[in-house]
Structure 1
């Protein structure tokens, strides 16, 4: 759960023009901004794939960010390629790999597929593989026995071809040490993730969920998906039988980007020691409202909003590009 103190945040340096094309430099600048911002609150370890990229990342991120070249990566989405860290019951952590396969073999992942195990080895942690294929951004956990996910992402033949929903649910619960799973339908095939839940619905703490809703005049399938998630979660209970408290966050009315796959999510935030790092989109009223809602949801933490439009135009956000490692 994100309210547990962190040892560090893991990130990855984008380096492939074959993935990002002319957008690469701008995305690198956004990743560097996120890394420098997080480093004000907790250590950041950023993986880069080769000597040139290590030097490049260090020049952008500065001395407060630790850049390493011993764990090569294909892309920047550390939430999906890093291990999920669990308490091992002996005062330490183990690391679970979710068998990353490029979001259903949609993108190159020859290096990304091995990041989870490499991080565990570097940390000296026991590493185990989950019995399903998925990504960290596909599954939200409250740290108290409840997880939630979209069916579109996990109950999908591009990841778990021969598994039923019940079999996938059992495997997810085992990997996360949880007792109850809440499913929402999601949308298949419209983005590379098949609709990760961490863009729309997030746990704040056990029993409390944030859901971002679109402006009233939006009727596209993403808007319908968000409203459906809100309705389903509002009627759900957690592993302890508590009715979920669902807090609405209003999405922006306007954004600066013209990209059709731009992620206009305030909820793709990353919680760090003492702060919540989230996005702003230039909609002054909605940006301020989201900041106030997050401040109320996470009392005692500073809410920091960043302009990372280049990253968000690439289909993901701040949470997608980070993975927290809790203190043992």
Structure 2
């Protein structure tokens, strides 16, 4: 049946009803118990920080609720929906708003980043949330992740081809076909593509760890001060920057930290991986006093009137993600 309404995913800075998050538990993903507990504590810290500003729904199997409840504030409600991992931006519900103001969910099917990780529970989360909320689940005809596309909420998308035009997600679909389906799914008019980077990380280089919309045609991006020409991520990031600039977007650059607490080539130290909630921006800091301050000031300029709350989320960086990857907003209806 053809959907008679246009559905739009509002900008992240639009008012929220709540934030959704997921509890990480899968033993094949978290083989080390101590590290798993560190990651769970980080999810607890993020949930509590957001709950100071809006309700948080943390999804977890009922058998995990007693363990998960420890340390959570009263503003965090546990829902009995089984999970494998924490990446709610990718596996969780994607909320869109109809032209009549009502909410629905858009189904972009999660498949474990191209079947790279166990995802039996995570693949079912969106449908289970839609059933619990009694919301329609609108098909998109796409396999992928919410973190693989960034939306302005004002008709514009940006994405890395590597996360979508990939046989491990959408075999047989061209870039133009995928772009058209993404625009329909999220209520946008056009998409800016950049090549990205295939196979260097589990996500095939999600755009939300590099660049974020902070207005209709305004972007905040994290780049190295001294790019290494041998680093494929540096080369891909600079290419994305140049493509966005050529498209006429207003861009502000935040430098990556040069003296982070964790120095490892696989550690993701992205200031762009923040989350905007009601009245606040929840953002990472990495222990480099200079770049941490630059990031805080930039976020304050781009989101005036919001409190800037910066957290140590290093365990997520060790996993290749950040705060934005761990959260998903439910717009105000």
TMscore range, shorter length: over 0.9
Q: Is the 8 A contact 1:211 1:226 kept in 2?
A: no
2:155 counterpart of 1:150: no
Give, in angstroms, the shift of residue 207 of structure 1: 1.0
> Unpaired segments of 5 or more residues in structure 2?
1-10
Q: How many residues align?
A: 320
Mark the runs of 5 or more structure 1 residues left unpaired by the alignment. Answer: 237-242
Distance 2:216 2:157 in 1: 10
What does 1:282-321 correspond to in 2, within 5 Å?
282-321=287-326
* Range with greater deviation from structure 2 (274-283 or 121-130): 121-130
Work out the CA distance in 1 between the residues paired with 2:232 and 2:295: 22
Please say if residues 140 and 181 of structure 2, whose CA atoms lie closer than 8 Å, have aligned partners that are also in contact.
yes
Do 1:49 and 1:74's aligned partners in 2 also have CA atoms closer than 8 Å? Answer: no
Query: For residues 140 and 176 of structure 1, what CA distance do their matches in structure 2 show?
Result: 10
Matching residue of 2:275:
270
Confirm or deny that 1:132 pairs with 2:137.
Answer: no
How far residue 12 of structure 1 moved from its aligned partner, in angstroms, is 0.5
Which of 240, 265, 272 is 1:229 aligned to?
240
Deviations along 1:112-156, whole A, 9 cap, x unmatched?
111111111111211112111111000001111111100000000
SS in 1 for 2:325: coil
The one of 10, 13, 18 equivalent to 2:23 is 13
Residue pairs, 1:144-183, within 5 angstroms: 144-183=154-193
Q: TM-score, normalised by structure 2?
A: 0.94
Q: Secondary structure of 1:157's match?
A: coil
The answer to whether the 8 A contact 2:54-2:75 is kept is no
CA contact (8 A) 1:204 1:210 kept: yes
**Counterpart in 1 of 2:104?**
94
1:49 to 55, 61, 82: 61
Aligned partners of 1:274 and 1:218: how far apart in 2? 37
Instruction: For residues 263-304 of structure 1, give each alpha carbon's deviation from its aligned partner in whole angstroms, at most 9, with x where no partner exists.
Output: 100000000001111100000010001100110011111111
Instruction: Report the CA distance between 1:228 and its aligned residue.
Output: 1.2
* 1:105 alignment counterpart: 115
For the residue of structure 1 that corresponds to 2:141, the secondary structure is coil
